[in-house]
Structure 1
Amino acid sequence: PGLVVSLDVAIGQEVKTGEQVAIVEAMKMQNIIRAERDGTVKTVGAAAGDSVAADEILVEFA
């Protein structure tokens, strides 16, 4: 489990491979979540301040 510190993308935004999309804090460490591939953000499943599980989808690409 973790806490979403920031979500740096919005629906419809174009992202490139390696671009930061979110920061999640878990076990007192901040983890930068980066895009795995180029794409357009289709959905955003969390917001800053939300508690999330390990298998929860934060951002989905189209």
Structure 2
Amino acid sequence: MPAGTTVTWTNHDEDPHNVVAEGGQFRSPTMGSGATFSYAFTTPGTFTYVCGIHPFMHGTVVVR
């Protein structure tokens, strides 16, 4: 995605989750069901993230 794009994560689960960048760029608060967290990616790069509560849940955002 292009730099300057904002990504919004939504917790559609009954369990709490959060979003933690492995490089420290962002960290959401713990989100209950229906809560959201947004982050604007202003610089190019590959950003990996995990749920700090459930580290087996992970993803990657690629910014060009």
**Length-normalised TM-score, structure 2:** 0.33
User: Whose Rg is larger?
Assistant: 2
**Length-normalised TM-score, structure 1:** 0.33
More strand by percentage: 1
